[in-house]
Structure 1
Amino acid sequence: METYLHYALFISLQFCFLIQLYFLIANQSKLNKFKPVESLPEVLIPVSVIISARNEANNLRENLPSILEQNYPDFEVVVINDCSYDASGDVLDEMKEKYPRLKVVTITEHDRFKTGKKFALTLGIKAAKNEYLLFTDADCVPASDNWITYMAANFTKPAQIVLGYSPYKKTRNFLNPFIRFETIKTAINYLSAAVRGDAYMGIGRNLAYTKTLFFGAKGFAAHMHVISGDDDLFVNQNATADNTAIEMNPDSFVYTDAKTTLNSLFRQKKRHFGVGKLYKARHRRILSIDAASGFLFYILLTLCLVFNFEPLLAAGLFMFRLIFQLIIYNKLFKRLDGKGLLWYLPFFDAIYYIYLNTFGLIGTFIKTTQWK
């Protein structure tokens, strides 16, 4: 009986190994073939940059100038001051005097009606004068003054959605390496899926789409009852193989600060993972299989080593998968500003799958009631 259990254990490990190998080759490797535009494109279409800000006075003061001073001929910046009770209003008033491109939409708190980010963004989109909309957050800063150019260039193709990338700044905080690692892994997955014609999410810190698409899809109406999801749920429900493009030029990146405490990271990820259950069924299925097989791979590998059942073969499967990861990730991590993080791969990859399953369960059963 014990021998049968050992064989079942090892066969299960092999099965999880094959599933993980499939995701590496069939999905993630596709992104290596994508070639971003190297030279600065010439783009003239008018763009509206939209930012929803609640109590972001310091971030607006520090980051908004880098957006208002973009090297682009025709754009406006619409900032929604969403029920702020700090100095956000004063900061925006000062900037309006200096930057004629800035348009401010102010929302005041109502006793009986609680607003959220989706409501704020909807008002900002209505206030925007242009068809092409580019979204980011108040705590974000573009990597260059050509950010708008690179993102907007994708609208010259038959695209209505443009998925960008938003890495976290590198710091010495103990959480920072893993947060950056997880962000790159997430980006590899959603950008690869878009390259394959099956986009399932985007990141609101660097995302663009058309006003026509937004109102044609009735905005966020299908998921207005969920506090999060203004970015990934909108993309999940409206992206197609023909209307979605990605942008990976380093000058198109938008940087932000990572969380520095476990408590703040927990709140953020609980909010993010809470919307996954509303993804399309095939996307939920694919993401669940990847997360479960990766988690079980490490559990079964550990059991094989601990109970000394085919330890060399089990270790060989681990090394084979690791080598494939290094081959596929080497170029991608460099392109996504995570070159040094590959050294952490054997350790962080195991944590990553534990993290995915943990927050997946938390997001399923615990409801988030505020976006900020």
Structure 2
Amino acid sequence: MIKRVSVFATGGTIAGIAGSAIARDYRAGQIRIEDYLEQAGGLGLEAELSGRQIANIDSADMGPAVWNDLHPAIMGALADDNCDGVIVTHGTDTLEETAFLLDLTLPATKPVVVVGAMRPADAVGYDGLRNFANAVRVACDSEAAGRGVLVVMGDRVFAARDVRKVRTRDVDAFRGFPRESVALVTPSSLDWFGAPWRGDAEARLEWHDELPDVPILYVYAGMRPDALACMVGDATRGIVIAGMGEGNMPGPVRQKLVRRVQEGLVVVRASRTDESLVDRNPEDDENGFVAARALGPAKARILLMLLVANGITDPAAIQAAFDNR
């Protein structure tokens, strides 16, 4: 039976145009979803595709304004009996953040796949159509349900909570941590490495149109505590520390943050390293800090924003949420 897949386009390199097959520079978000699906129709994909343009932007401009349109659109598709799966086309710069945001706030009842490309559509070796064909393969597979939001890049399938962009160029630009890819995919095959892991079909956190201010503070050698003044304002509800090593920071910076915790600010320690696991240390209880565990700074920020938006501000409850990701 032919599966029916709803495609929501947001722009990015996958819809980008350079004007030359060998040009270095290009403009993201130039191809409309109708034209893209017409081109994809020539691939012989065994699916009935319908498309909707949510945005057509460089993903560096991705944020709440687009998320607030994208999320209800996907929810509507998931509730539609005539939809078997969802694909979101997205730029790669912020793909991991959007995928994780959706993973936390969407039910796991049907496949939801986020896909992008590292080369514009008119470049030599364009990877977008193959990635898209792979995404269709995943979105049409009933076993993709129950796994949360998935990301397809470079013949591999990643879980949204694990995936991260690790290279600025090259089509093999994404990796997963702590799990690597959860499946291998081609336009004609799909091999899962394990059973679905989402026992809960419902969304883990409620969606909110208004998200709190949660900046990321990048820690560096010789950092002065007054750097916080530029990041934390009256409306700031939490802050994620992209710390050295296992979320470390200079003593004076830590002391300043402890005082802010006493004033109600939530502080999450993450790491600026690529493959990072930040466990709680004995000082966290005394300082009131939260350890990000396996989430990098960008995803730790997404989770913290959603937790605070849902009224979860107690450090112990926030720590439990990070532990359970």
TM-score by length of structure 2 reads 0.33
| Larger RCO: 1 or 2 (CA < 8 Å, sep 6+) | 1
Higher strand share: 2
